[in-house]
Amino acid sequence: MPMTTPQLVTVRCLTDNYAYLVHAGGKTVLFDAPEAAPILAALKERGWTLDVIALTHHHDDHIQAVAEIVAATGAEVVGAAADTHRLPKLDRTVAPGDRIELAGLEAQVIDAGGHTRGHIAYYLPQAQMVATGDSLMALGCGRLFEGDAPMMWASLQRLAALPPQTLVCSGHDYCAGNGAFALSVDADNSALRTRIDAVAAGQKPCAPQSLAVELATNPFLRAAALAPSLGLEGHPEVDAFARLRSMKDRS
């Protein structure tokens, strides 16, 4: 694949969703399709044509604009083979472990199950970004609607193993709620407080943020470090993660 310098654009959709456009070599890929109007406006503003829509999971707020965007652009639709029965019509199916091409860029498909079964993430090394949908999120992770704690913990570990400079392009702006919870369980974390203050002041975006920042501030990635304060020192790391997820669900 040709070497190029990709451009990443974050598109706010609905009330708190994010979609992402990556453009390189005259081609563009969209990650998730929550709302057509802002996505089509972002494309028009830059004079970009859309080649591919890559879907992370089946929830309506990530797929409901696919038909309208395809009608306007003719873009190809890519998604998980395991979720074909509940995604929009797919032109190409993928599975975890696949290395594929998206609009001229290499993409690695990562198993991100937990929020839903069949949830995938897309890592683009050239763009130094990973589209994580509702798995690894800014200062948080998705609720376990279909999977369980071990499934999500394994997914988070796969994502945490990516290069630290990778931008985590998550599906929602839940920074206020996630930040408040993070502070409640990790109050002495100065990096966390700095991040929250910068977002509140408009100095930094909620997402995307580098994986290095998430590793330093996201309590779900810091489950092992927080285990002692949860009364779980010496327990498997997944136990601390499960406790944190349960606490967040009740917060």
| Residue ranges at the known binding site for Zn(2+) | 57, 59, 61-62, 115, 134, 172
Output the DSSP codes for the chain: ------EEEEEEETTTEEEEEEEETTEEEEE--S-HHHHHHHHHHHTPPP-EEE-----HHHHTTHHHHHHHH--EEEEEGGGGGGSSPPSEEE-TT-EEEETTEEEEEEE-TTSSTT-EEEEETTTTEEEEETSEETTEE---SSS-HHHHHHHHHHHHTS-TT-EEEESB--HHHHHHHHHHH-TT-HHHHHHHHHHHTTSS-SSSEEHHHHHHH-TTTTHHHHTGGGT-TTS-HHHHHHHHHHHHHH-
Binding-site annotation: residue ranges = 57, 59, 61-62, 115, 134, 172
How far, in Å, CA of 199 to CA of 209, rounded?
Answer: 11
- The candidate with the shortest Cα–Cα distance to 17, out of 123, 110, 114, 137, is 137
